[in-house]
C-alpha cells in the first residue's frame, strides 16, 4: 500500500512551470460547445490542447523537465519512450534546448507520429509491442549510458508542466464547476487536479475533477479501489495515447487525494465522440483526446449524480493517423446509427435483389457497398448470401429499414 504523504507537486511548482513555459507552450483556446451543451443540458467548454504545439499537451511537461537539467545532464542527452505525443513533446523540447534525444516507440506506431518525432530531430528506435515495453527499454538504455530518462508521467516536473493547463482553465473560465480529461499514466490529471483544487480551496469553491479511461485500458479504478498500484494484464484500445497498463506512482498519490472520480468509456463511445467533435465542433481530435467527450455522451456525469452548470473537457491531443481516422469514423457512424451493415440469405431466383433495392430506396437509406455470392461453405444449393453497407440517419431510421426488410420476408442480420 502506498503511504499517504505530502503531495509530490504543489501549486507553487505549477506556477513556476508556467513561467518556464512562457513563449514555449501556446495558451490554447477555450471553445464553447453548443452541440454538447444541448446534448447534456448544461454548458460545456472545450480546452483545445489538440491545437497545442506538436499537437498535444505533452510539450508542457517535457519542456519543464528538460529545462531544469544541469549543463552536465544536458550533455549526456535524454531518452524517452512513447506511442507518439510524449515523443513529439520531448523531441520538440530537446531541439529548442539543444539536447540530443533518443526516443523508443512501439512497433506499429502511427506513421504520422513517427515521422513528426524524427522531423523534430530526435533519434527514434522502434522497440516492443506497447508503451510499457518501450519504456522498459528506454530505462535500460538510460542506466547503461547515463542518458537522462524523461518519463512520460511519473516525475514531478512533468506533472507540474501539465498542471499549467489547470491554471489556464481557471483564467479562461473562472466559474467552471467540473473538469473532465483522459488519464493514462496520470500526469495530466494529477497536475490539473493540483492546480484547480488548490485554487478552488483558496476561493472556497468545490470544482469536480473527473478522470476518464478507456474501459479496455483502465488501471486506475482497480488501483484506487485497492489503494495500491494494480497493473493490467492486457491493454487494448484505439486510444493509444492513454494505453498505459500501470498508473504512475507519483500521479497516483495525487489522484487518490484530489480527484473526485475516474470513470471508463467504451470503444464505440470513443469513436462516436471523435466523429461528434469533427462534425459538430470542426476539431480533429485523437481518441485519447476525446475520452472526456465520450464520457459526456455516455451520460457518466448523470451516473455519478453530478449536474454541473459549467463543464470543461480537456481535448488533450489531435495527433491521429489518417488510416485510424478512417476506421474510427466508420465505427463512430455505426455507433451513432448512421452506418448499417446487414447480411441476408436469399433464394437464388430473379427479382430478390430488385425487391431489396426497392425496400431500401423507399426507406430513404443509401447503399454504399453490396457483396453478392453464391459460393461458400455455409451456403446450400440455390442459396445466395448478400451483404449490404448503407448510410442511415440514426438508430430509429436504421430500425425502420430493418423492419421494412422483415416485412418483405427477409431476415437481415446486423454485422459488426
User: How would DSSP label each residue in 167-209?
Assistant: HHHHHH-TT--EEEEE-SSSHHHHHHHHHHHHHHHHHT---EE
| pLDDT, position 321 | 86
Candidate CATH numbers 3.30.1330.60, 3.40.50.2300, 3.30.70.260, 3.40.50.300; the one for domain 337-414: 3.30.70.260
Query: Per the confidence metrics, is the pTM higher than 0.85?
Result: yes
Which residues are part of the catalytic machinery? 58, 316
Q: Are the folds of 58-149 and 337-414 the same?
A: no
Cell numbers describing residue 250:
507519483
Tell me which residue has cell 430473379: 350
CA gap 52, 397 in Å, rounded: 39
pLDDT at 113 over 90: no
How much is the average pLDDT of 41-64?
97
pLDDT value at 5 more than 70:
no
At 347, which helix (H) or strand (E)? strand 339-347
CATH architecture of 11-56+156-332: 3-Layer(aba) Sandwich (3.40)
* pLDDT tens per residue across span 164-212: 999 999 999 999 999 999 999 999 999 999 999 999 999 999 999 999 9
> Which three three-digit cell numbers place residue 27?
495558451
* pLDDT tens track for 271-281: 999 999 999 99
Q: Does domain 58-149 have CATH number 3.30.2020.10?
A: no
Q: Domain-by-domain residue ranges, the chain?
A: 11-56+156-332, 58-149, 337-414
Report the b/e string of 399-408 with b at 16+ CB within 10 A: ebbbebbeee
C-alpha cell at 148: 537522462
Amino acid at each position: 500500500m502506498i503511504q499517504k504523504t505530502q503531495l509530490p507537486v504543489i501549486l507553487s511548482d505549477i506556477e513556476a512551470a508556467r513561467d518556464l513555459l512562457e513563449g514555449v507552450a501556446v495558451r490554447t483556446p477555450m471553445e464553447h460547445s453548443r452541440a454538447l451543451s444541448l446534448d447534456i443540458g448544461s454548458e460545456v467548454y472545450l480546452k483545445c490542447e489538440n491545437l497545442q504545439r506538436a499537437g498535444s499537451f505533452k510539450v508542457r511537461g517535457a519542456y519543464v523537465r528538460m529545462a531544469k537539467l544541469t549543463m552536465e545532464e544536458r550533455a549526456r542527452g535524454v531518452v524517452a519512450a512513447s506511442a507518439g505525443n510524449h515523443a513529439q513533446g520531448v523531441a520538440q523540447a530537446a531541439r529548442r534546448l539543444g539536447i540530443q534525444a533518443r526516443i523508443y516507440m512501439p512497433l506499429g506506431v502511427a506513421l504520422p507520429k513517427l515521422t513528426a518525432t524524427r522531423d523534430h530531430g530526435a533519434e527514434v528506435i522502434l522497440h516492443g509491442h506497447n508503451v510499457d515495453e518501450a519504456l522498459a527499454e528506454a530505462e535500460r538504455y538510460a542506466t547503461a549510458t547515463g542518458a537522462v530518462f524523461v518519463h512520460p508521467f511519473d516525475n514531478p516536473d512533468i506533472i507540474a508542466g501539465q498542471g499549467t493547463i489547470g491554471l489556464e482553465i481557471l483564467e479562461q473560465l473562472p466559474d467552471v464547476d467540473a473538469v473532465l480529461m483522459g488519464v493514462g499514466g496520470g500526469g495530466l490529471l494529477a497536475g490539473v487536479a493540483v492546480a484547480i483544487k488548490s485554487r478552488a480551496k483558496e476561493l472556497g469553491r468545490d470544482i469536480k475533477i473527473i478522470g476518464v479511461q478507456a474501459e479496455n485500458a483502465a488501471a486506475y479504478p482497480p488501483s484506487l479501489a485497492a489503494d495500491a498500484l494494480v497493473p493490467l494484464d492486457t491493454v487494448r484500445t484505439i486510444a493509444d495515447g492513454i494505453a498505459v497498463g500501470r498508473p504512475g506512482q507519483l500521479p497516483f498519490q495525487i489522484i487518490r487525494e484530489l480527484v473526485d472520480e475516474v470513470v471508463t468509456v467504451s470503444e464505440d463511445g470513443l469513436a462516436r465522440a471523435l466523429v461528434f467533435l469533427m462534425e459538430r465542433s470542426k476539431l480533429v481530435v485523437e481518441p485519447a483526446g476525446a475520452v472526456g467527450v465520450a464520457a459526456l455522451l455516455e451520460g457518466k456525469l448523470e451516473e455519478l449524480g453530478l449536474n454541473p452548470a459549467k463543464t470543461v473537457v480537456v481535448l488533450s491531443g489531435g495527433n491521429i493517423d489518417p488510416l485510424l481516422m478512417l476506421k474510427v469514423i466508420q465505427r463512430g457512424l455505426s455507433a451513432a446509427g448512421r452506418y448499417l451493415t446487414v447480411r441476408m440469405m436469399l433464394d437464388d431466383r430473379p427479382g430478390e435483389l430488385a425487391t431489396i433495392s426497392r425496400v431500401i430506396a423507399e426507406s430513404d437509406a443509401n447503399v454504399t457497398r453490396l457483396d453478392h455470392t453464391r459460393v461458400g461453405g455455409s451456403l446450400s444449393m440455390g442459396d445466395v448470401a448478400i451483404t449490404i453497407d448503407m448510410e442511415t440517419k440514426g438508430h430509429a431510421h436504421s430500425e425502420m429499414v430493418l423492419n421494412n426488410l422483415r416485412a418483405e420476408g427477409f431476415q437481415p442480420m446486423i454485422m459488426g
